[in-house]
Amino acid sequence: MDIAEIPAVPEWLTEHLRDQGIESLYPPQAEAVERGVTQGENLVAAIPTASGKTLIATLAMLSSVDRGGKALYIVPLRALASEKQEEFAEFEAYGLDVGVTTGNYESEGGWLAGKDIIVATSEKVDSLVRNDAPWLDDLSCVVTDEVHLVDDGERGPTLEVTLAKLRSLNPDLQTVALSATIGNADKLADWLDAELVDSDWRPIDLKKGVHYGDALQLEDGSQKRLAVDRNEEQTAAVVRDTLAEEGSTLVFVNSRKNAEAAARRLANTTGKAVTGEEEERLAEIAAEIRDVSDTDTSADLADAVEKGAAFHHAGLSREHRSLVEEGFRDRLIKVVCATPTLAAGVNTPSRRVVVRDWRRYDGTAGGMQPLSVLEVHQMMGRAGRPGRDPYGEAVLVASSHDELDELFERYVWADPEPVRSKLAAEPALRTHILATVASGFARSREGLLDFLDGTLYAEQTADRRRLETVVDDVIAYLDVNGFLEQTAEGLSATNLGHTVSRLYLDPMSAAEIIDGLEDGEPTPLGLYHLVCRTPDMYQLYLRSGEDEEYTMLAYEREDELLGAAPSEFEDGFEDWLSALKTARLLEDWASELDEDEITETYGIGPGDIRGKVDTAQWLLGAAESLAAELDLGVGSQIREARLRVEHGVREELVDLAGVRGVGRKRARRLYDAGIEDRTQLREADKSVVLAALRGREKTAENILENAGHRNPSMDAVDADEETAAQAREADATEETADDQANLGDF
């Protein structure tokens, strides 16, 4: 279909697409148009990666906005939200306004009312519904990316309930759901009353196969020689072969540790293919990576990147991941070793994909378990970049002839599993039932069940009795804990229940926090431990031998810990200790312990620290609101603990660290130079500020401006010599301490 034939889209779109080199639609895109995606029809598009899903979404949204409506694009990951917002920002040249929202679960996002296209995560949209964002009534089109993630036990129920609520709010809402090829796309289409485009068409071929011995065997029965040199691993041989064709490789492994180790080894292969010019640019990227944090993880990543290799996992900071993704897209980084999270939609295609590890540890099963077909196909779909690669190749790695046969049967020739709703689990329903009642979607048990009839779970389950049993159990729990009231008129949320729903808390987290706050005078460690015990915090695992260490810590500081402690012989004691370990990390962070020391002590990455800090900050903010709601008189203690963990500083630095651009290290340097709060910073001698900030004029100007200094300019300002000398002495002491710590490791 020629783009000029697309009906009901803005007049400028045809020329815009031509400017991008698009003259005609891909077959799945043309089918979507024929099925009415630009004319308000609901649609499920189940097509492979790189087959044009985003343009289908764009056509739906732009045609909807052109008719006077407002469009919402739901993504599963924050990183994807930023990526999509950048893509859609090009439409602002034609008068459209694009916004993105991913954080602050207590906000109604009123500023989004004037936006034409809004990009958000499913959790954020759910919170907007709970907070009665008035502009949701104006939505005319909702697009949900990666809709097959309704099958995910953790995030799926939120996506499922959110779509059901949006469709309930706006009966005429156009729903467009995008997915990789799945086993039951027709059932998703039935649930959403949608037309279906189910296609395996790709703009470039994807060849799937298995490497064994010295041969790559492909799904069509053909083989090609791909020899493994002496003392070379299979993955390195595949990467070397790809480099010979000037291609890039994504290698999927089953753990962070394996991703880092694989990148370290493969750097020896990629380093031989890096040109002189590429070497200079890679050195620049490596320097940026080292600037992000002073951790071993950061240093290891930079070392690999200098040779054209990298690793990518959730332990990296957001800045690390962005630098790796950008370097890979520019083909400066030749190979990225990643955990499966990278397959979830981030735009990082490559010539070849190697699925090295097709099993991963599953704690519920007590051992290594095979990945799902859908997950492996998601990884494989990253192979091949239209316009850059002649084809894509996805390679599994076999270590025996039997495994070769098994991988073909299990993954290469297999169809993806059907997607199944995970809504009927009690933890998922706890939060969604309270929110459904609090936001007025249901006012009785029958009303709840009627609302749930609009979910995928109801579409897939003929027997309503199981859902009724779980709903009754959850209603009883919410009633006992004071979040819901059951009366002759039906169900209603209490004031406390409304607060818990608005705060986007799991009701069990709220019950735990309230119980702890009623226990006595809280300290920072006690508060950190309290929020770390909730279901909303992912706790650190106890490593071998650590149970004894943290049991001793629990006894030493038991007066600070809030709520009743379980017995050492109870099942919950290990979780209590895991929460204490996580709380101790937060206390170390809020005591200004260096980031590299924290990562080494706890065996985590800088991204993990940021994740724990962000979650603790949110939960402590929620605890502050709950304490105010119940008039518990501990708000100031909670606020101090929250601000300390937010900025990673001791109590005396909280005010300084709150100035934009200061942060934990600069706050300490300013404080040591005699500047103790933002008021003093506003009136400070500029030469002292410049010296404390190590002579960085631009940084000093920005910080003084943010503090409200009447003249922040550093023109003709020299750093104060006495302060500079003290700073040099402090730096030397710090470096000596670091050297001694490193020497102590040997």
The answer to whether 344 and 76 are in contact (CB under 8 A) is: yes
How far apart are the C-alpha atoms of 332 and 602, rounded to whole Å?
Answer: 32
Residue 442 — φ and ψ, nearest 5°?
-150, 145
φ/ψ of 337, rounded to 5, equals: -100, 120
446's CB contacts (< 8 A; 6+ apart) are: none
Asked whether residue 68 carries a pLDDT value surpassing 90, the answer given is yes
Q: How far apart are CA 240 and CA 232, in angstroms?
A: 10
* pLDDT reading at 273 higher than 90: yes
Residue 568's H or E segment, with its range, is none
Query: In terms of Cα–Cα distance, which of 511, 504, 498, 481 is closest to 440?
Result: 498
Mean pLDDT of 108-135: 90
Instruction: In whole angstroms, give the CA distance from residue 497 to residue 441.
Output: 15
Per mean pLDDT, which range of 204-213, 333-342, 461-470, 500-509 is the poorest? Answer: 461-470
| Measured distance CA(357)–CA(313) in Å, rounded | 15
Predicted confidence at residue 744, as pLDDT, reads 32
pTM of the predicted structure, to 2 decimals: 0.89
Distance of CA 529 to the CA centre of its chain: 24
- What the block records as the tokens of 119 is 């990009």
Q: Do the strands 392-397 and 174-179 form a parallel or antiparallel pair, or are they unpaired?
A: unpaired
The Cα-based distances of 304 to 206, 298, 331, 338 in angstroms read: 29, 10, 15, 14
Q: What count of other Cβ atoms lies within 10 Å of the Cβ of residue 433?
A: 26
Distance separating alpha carbons of residues 631 and 641, to the nearest angstrom: 18
Q: Kindly write down the DSSP assignment for every residue of 628-649, as one continuous string.
A: HHTT-S-HHHHHHHHHHHHHT-
pLDDT of 3 > 90? The answer is yes
3-state SS of 465-518 is: HHHHHHHHHHHHHHHHCCCEEEECCEEEECHHHHHHHHCCCCHHHHHHHHHHHC
Confidence check: pLDDT of 321 > 70: yes
For residue 741, is pLDDT > 50? Answer: no
Contact 215, 61 (CB under 8 A): no
- In this structure, what are the phi and psi dihedrals at residue 738, rounded to the nearest 5 degrees? -65, -45
| Reported confidence tier of residue 182, pLDDT bands at 50, 70, 90 | confident
Q: Tell which wins on pLDDT, 102 or 276.
A: 276
Out of 53-57, 345-349, 562-566, which region has the weakest mean confidence (pLDDT)? Answer: 345-349
Cα 582 to Cα 228, 502, 538, 550, 573, distances in angstroms: 44, 26, 9, 11, 14
Percent of the chain clearing pLDDT 90 (strictly above):
76
Mean pLDDT of 6-26: 95
What's the residue count for the chain? 746
Q: Which helix (H) or strand (E) holds 371?
A: none
Q: What is the pLDDT of residue 739?
A: 45
Asked whether the beta carbons of 483 and 500 are under 8 A apart, the reply is yes
- Dist. CA 745–CA 713, nearest whole Å: 45
Q: What order of strands is seen across the sheet that includes strand 139-144?
A: 98-101, 117-121, 70-75, 139-144, 174-179, 43-46, 195-198
Residue 619 pLDDT: 97
| Residue 80 pLDDT level (bands cut at 50, 70, 90) | confident
Q: Which token pair is 45?
A: 């598009």
With 80 as the cut, is the pLDDT of residue 522 above it?
A: yes
Least confident of 26-40, 61-75, 297-311, 558-572: 558-572
Going by pLDDT thresholds of 50, 70 and 90, the confidence category of residue 344 is: low
Q: How far apart are alpha carbons 198 and 220 in whole angstroms?
A: 22
The encoded tokens of residue 293 equal 């944090």
pLDDT attached to residue 307: 97
In this prediction, residues 712-721 reach a mean pLDDT of 90
Chain centroid to CA 267: 27
Q: Where are the alpha helices (DSSP H) in 591-696?
A: 595-602, 606-629, 635-647, 654-657, 663-672, 678-682, 686-692
Q: What is the mean pLDDT of residues 455-467?
A: 86
Residue with tokens 């009795």: 465
Cα–Cα distance measured from residue 118 to residue 247, given in angstroms and rounded to the nearest whole number = 36
Helix (H, G, I), strand (E, B) or coil at 626: helix
What is the share, in percent, of the chain residues with pLDDT greater than 70? Answer: 97
Mean pLDDT of all residues belonging to the chain: 91
What are the distances in angstroms from CA 694 to CA 31, 552, 653, 704, 721? 61, 42, 19, 15, 11
Mean pLDDT for 82-110 is: 86
**What mean pLDDT comes out for the span 213-239?**
94
d(CA 542, CA 519): 26
> 371 near 335, Cβ under 8 Å?
no
Q: Which domains does the chain have, with CATH numbers?
A: 3-198 (3.40.50.300), 206-412 (3.40.50.300), 426-502 (1.10.10.10), 507-648 (1.10.3380.30), 654-743 (1.10.150)
pLDDT interval class at 570 (50, 70, 90): confident
Is the alpha carbon torsion for 698, 700, 702, 708 positive or negative?
negative
Nearest Cα to 326, choosing from 355, 307, 305, 343?
A: 305
The residue type found at 150 is: V
* Residue 343: pLDDT band with limits 50, 70, 90: low
Of residues 743 and 649, which shows the higher confidence score? 649
Residue 376 vs residue 49, higher pLDDT: 376
Q: Which two tokens stand for residue 51?
A: 């087959």
Burial environment of residue 500 by CB neighbours within 10 A (0 to 12, 13 to 18, 19 or more): buried
* Per-residue model confidence (pLDDT) at position 740: 39
Sole residue written with tokens 């690999």 = 304
Is 151 within 8 Å of 118 (Cβ atoms)?
A: no
Measured CA to CA, the distance from residue 379 to residue 438 in angstroms comes to 40
How confident is the model at residue 599, as a pLDDT?
Answer: 92
Residue 64 has pLDDT above 50, yes or no: yes
In the numeric block, which tokens belong to residue 210? 């298995």
| Alpha carbons 94 and 220: distance in angstroms, whole number | 47
